[in-house]
Amino acid sequence: MKDVIAHYYFRPDGRTTPQEAAQAIAEEQSTGTWTTLTSRLDYVRRLDGIVESVEASGRGYLTAIRFPVEIFEPGNVPQYLSVVAGNVFGLGRLEAVRLVDVEFPESLVRFNGPNFGIEGVRKLLGTHDRPHVGTIIKPKLGLNPADTADLAYEAALGGVDFIKDDETLTDHAFCPMKERVEAVMARLDEAKSETGRNVLYAVNVSDRADKIVLRAEEAIERGANTLMVDVITCGYSALQALAEEPGINVPIHVHRTMHAAMTRNPEHGIAMRPLARLVRMTGGDQLHTGTVSGKMGGKAEELVLDNHALTDPWFGFKPVFPVASGGLHPGKVHAELEALGTEIVLQAGGGIHGHPDGTAAGARAMRQAADAFLEGVSATEYAKTHIELARALKLWGTS
């Protein structure tokens, strides 16, 4: 494939036929405008977007539009998005339009991709053939570095593989990033001496474009073994800058905060799949994609395909670890693993820290729920011999 194929769902307004609506998308995002242009000469017309197909789908239509590769600047993801997801969402002739997916030719995906990916992250932790269990420091804001570190220590003792800042915590006066990293990593070293296990801690380095690499380097200098970036608010170029910086030699965990402004409406905006592809291209090692049973759940069939966009063979890029997060607790683990498989990070914040016996017990309960699934036993049955899981199920149930 030489060109870019963008797939859209749309509903035309009452004065526009489906074919006319698809043509309007193709023209608006390539060489056209609302009026006749004397400057739209033949050599310009060869760069027109071309409507490949239009077919009925639900209340609207699906269209595939071919955009000539020449209208994309290789390596410039902001410019890619300006073509496939630019003014189209404001077109008056469309009642709704959603970018469903994008197919890129090899000439436009000459990025490094993930430096670690699933295999690299597993190697750091020494895990095989099981889901990772992670947690988020809760409350998401307000704790000082010492208390943040204490929670991380308890979670590590309980058996989590991964700990992260929440999306709103960066470098605050009440919890400075440098002090937080030093405190957390010191307590994780203590936990390792007691358990023999490595645990990753993703510090949120989200910042303005000209400072994010420096902030990441400062975190690594203080011992950070994973970074986190809010990719929608910072931009894909920020992720690319982190992944391509030679001195940054730790995994990058990608949070999708603000994504639902684009992904939530099933008829308008941008689906998760193209966003996931861009994360993989620009170097994310782990990415939140959603849950089938949590508070930010989505349609299981769509989520499975989103995760496949991260893990299936694609231009030689390493597979990205999908992350299920948002309202998870031990009683929901079976539903997540049954739908999404075990090549995933199960991430619980309140579902670990809210355990009646504390954070360490909550972490054990999540691990026990995952172990039960792997052994082909229901969580309820497994809880008969695992008190932490039993206490969690009594509090939250199994759905």
Tens-place pLDDT, residues 170-179: 999 999 999 9
pLDDT of residue 209: 94
pLDDT of residue 43: 72
What's the mean pLDDT in 144-151? 98
**CATH code of the domain containing 211:** 3.20.20.110
Confidence of residue 380 (pLDDT cuts 50, 70, 90): very high
The dihedral formed by the CA atoms of 181, 324, 309 and 26, expressed in degrees to the nearest 10: -90
pLDDT of residue 1: 81
Same domain, 187 and 274: yes
Domain end, chosen from 58, 87, 108, is at 108
Same domain, 158 and 56: no
The single residue of 255, 329, 332, 353 carrying the catalytic annotation is 255
Same domain, 293 and 273: yes
Here the contacts of 176-181 (C-beta below 8 Å, separation 24 or greater) are 176/145, 177/203, 177/204, 177/205, 177/215, 177/218, 177/219, 178/218, 178/219, 178/222, 179/145, 180/145, 180/148, 180/149, 181/219, 181/222, 181/223, 181/224
Evaluate if residue 24 carries a pLDDT over 70.
yes
Evaluate if residue 261 carries a pLDDT over 60.
yes
Domain end, chosen from 79, 108, 137, is at 108
The single residue of 132, 138, 318, 334 carrying the catalytic annotation is 138
> pLDDT, tens digit, for every residue of 34-72?
555 555 567 777 888 999 999 999 999 999 999 999 999
Same domain, 85 and 61: yes
Residue type, 38: T
Q: Please name the helix (run of DSSP H) or strand (run of DSSP E) that holds residue 164, with its range, or none.
A: strand 162-164
**Dihedral sign of CA atoms 52, 54, 58, 59 in order:** positive
pLDDT of residue 280: 98
pLDDT of residue 45: 78
Confirm whether 255 is a catalytic residue.
Answer: yes
Distance CA(268)–CA(8), nearest Å, equals 10
Grouping H, G, I as helix, E, B as strand and the rest as coil, residue 243 is helix
What's the mean pLDDT in 334-357? 97
Evaluate if residue 295 carries a pLDDT over 80.
no
- Inter-helix orientation angle 333-340/300-311, to 10°: 60
Cα-based angle 371, 372, 378 (whole degrees, multiple of 5): 165
Evaluate if residue 298 carries a pLDDT over 80.
no
> pLDDT, tens digit, for every residue of 60-112?
999 999 999 999 999 999 999 999 999 999 999 999 999 999 999 999 999 99
Evaluate if residue 2 carries a pLDDT over 80.
yes
**CATH code of the domain containing 67:** 3.30.70.150
Distance CA(176)–CA(178), nearest Å, equals 6
Residue type, 319: P
Name the domain count of the chain. 2
Q: CA 301: distance to chain centroid? A: 17
Structural domain including 56 reads: 4-108
**Dihedral sign of CA atoms 49, 51, 56, 62 in order:** negative
DSSP 8-state symbol, 246: T
Same domain, 225 and 251: yes
Distance CA(371)–CA(376), nearest Å, equals 9
Query: How many alpha carbons lie under 13 Å from residue 372 in its C-beta half-sphere?
Result: 27
Same domain, 104 and 200: no
> pLDDT, tens digit, for every residue of 204-247?
999 999 999 999 999 999 999 999 999 999 999 999 999 999 99
Place of tokens 């994310």: 284
Same domain, 222 and 163: yes
Confidence of residue 368 (pLDDT cuts 50, 70, 90): very high
Q: Are strands 60-67 and 162-164 parallel, antiparallel or unpaired?
A: unpaired
More confidently predicted of 352 and 42: 352
> pLDDT, tens digit, for every residue of 180-208?
999 999 999 999 999 999 999 999 999 99
Same domain, 330 and 190: yes
Same domain, 43 and 91: yes
> pLDDT, tens digit, for every residue of 262-277?
999 999 999 999 999 9
Confirm whether 172 is a catalytic residue.
Answer: no
The mean of the pLDDT values for the chain is: 95
Evaluate if residue 297 carries a pLDDT over 90.
no
Q: CA 16: distance to chain centroid? A: 36
Residue type, 96: A
Same domain, 94 and 216: no
Evaluate if residue 139 carries a pLDDT over 90.
yes
Same domain, 77 and 29: yes
Q: Give phi and psi for 213, each to the nearest 5.
A: -65, -45
Confidence of residue 30 (pLDDT cuts 50, 70, 90): confident
Distance CA(167)–CA(164), nearest Å, equals 9
Q: For residue 198, what are its two tokens?
A: 């490595």
Domain end, chosen from 61, 79, 108, is at 108
Bond before 139 cis per omega within 30 degrees? yes
What's the mean pLDDT in 286-296? 87
351, 342 Cβ separation under 8 angstroms: no
Same domain, 271 and 335: yes
